[in-house]
Amino acid sequence: MPHPASLDIDVPHLDRFYIGSSWVEPATSATREVISPTTEQVLASVPDAGRIDAERAVRAARSAFDSGPWPHMTMSERIEVCERLIAALEQRMPVINRAWAFESGVAKKHREALNTMMTPAVGRENLRLAVGMSFEEIRESATERALLSREPVGVVLAVLTYNGPVIQMTKKVLPALLAGNTVVIKPAPESQLTTRLLAQCFDDAGFPTGVVNFVPGGTEASQSLVAHPGIDFITLTAGMEIGTDVLRRSASHMPRTVFELGGKGPAIVLADAELEPTVAALAGGAMSFLGQICTAQSRIFVPRSRYEDFSEALGKAYSAMRVGDPFDDEPEFGPLAVERALRRSERFVESAQRQGGTVVAGGRRPDGFDKGWFYEPTLIRDLNNDTEICQNEVFGPVTALLAYDTVDEAVEAANDTRYGLMGSVFSADSDAARLVARRVRCGMVAINHGAPSLGNPFGGVRGSGWGRECGPEGIYEFTQLKTTLLSTTFSMFESR
């Protein structure tokens, strides 16, 4: 299929923002170009939301929480509306997928797996979990009887990224809504097309006025939102530097936060691991969406006795991965979504080579692509764990292959980073793998596969952030505990 010469889909309201349950004219005169990462052509020009637009969205969400029905509806009533949202997403998914391919270069295989299959599944799992969750509990002791209630926090700011704008609706926004909060969504600047389509799905679902609001802007909008005293909770996926900046800007009103701030995923291969299935899982775990995911298993630790075998097998696997036009059916990968990811990948590979690394596969733009932000899946060996590429998140298609002599050495190196999001352990002995997994300092560790679970609590430790998404814990995160003291026989003010 030839690449479309221009947008061939109907994206509604490209000149407006969805705020207060209406498509409103922007308060800004600033604009932003939507650029194709495949052709580098301008696809559209859209308004760039600024401070006044952010203020309008917070006011709408604040009014909806303080005076609207949503926080006081029963869980079954909120589930009914959210079910309509998932149905709307399913109905519009073909055009959403195509929009995502236009603006982020996502290949067909990835967008259909993540959007068409996983998004409805994760969304409905949230609804299923919410039905059985308890939000009230009576606690009694010899001296007291109290009601513990989990109540919505208030206005939630959800800051999304370009690498999964649709699935993040089910990881961040849907749990916040089920818990009874209202939401201001700050999409990535690169997600202008999907943003309008997703907003239309919320409109189709019929949420009460002001419950969901979109502010598709850049830095000015982001900084205005995180510093706004009307925001009670911030859920953010970004890099560590942005997370630190958000903490500074929001410190005066101290909102609750859930931060997912990237990773430098370690994969530890034990000596008895089977070669072929391990290589397949490692390649998939490292190269999903061309490494533009925080859970990418980008540091692979292999016993020195098996280093050459894994280097050869992984090199062949990486070389066999096809990069091409995301509108073709065959390529596994399209271009990188943003130009800065391409430049960053190039810079990290050059740095690794200067520090003694050897490129086994990739390390360049693929032949025949003079335009677009294309880069081949890249494997680099002969590195030490203290090199730049092993300590910093690339967020691109670059993997480091490292040798170790003892398992203790591998675990120490795996933990020798400021991150702690997701790791993996590979072994034919599940007990041995679990023992090693216990020692890996990450919020999630997978055994014999490299992909995260979206049905269980997910989040990081150390510099990868805090809080959890997914599972019942991902819904409880958006609540706050309230104690109502029903009776007591004790008083600290009793006279003696």
Catalytic residues: 260, 294
Token pair of 238, please? 């970004």
Nearest to 265 by CA among 100, 464, 89: 464
Query: Looking at this protein, which amino acid is placed at residue 65?
Result: F
Residues 6+ apart with CB under 8 A from 491: none
CA distances from 244 to 15, 214, 240, 251, 261 (A): 32, 23, 6, 11, 10
CA 129 – CA 477 distance, rounded (Å): 14
Nearest to 434 by CA among 422, 421, 446: 446
CA 314 – CA 297 distance, rounded (Å): 13
- Residue 185 burial (CB < 10 Å; 0-12/13-18/19+)? buried
List beta partners, residue 446.
424
Q: Write the DSSP assignment of 352-405 as a string of letters.
A: HHHTT-EEEE--SPPTT-SSS-----EEEES--TTSHHHHS---SSEEEEEEES
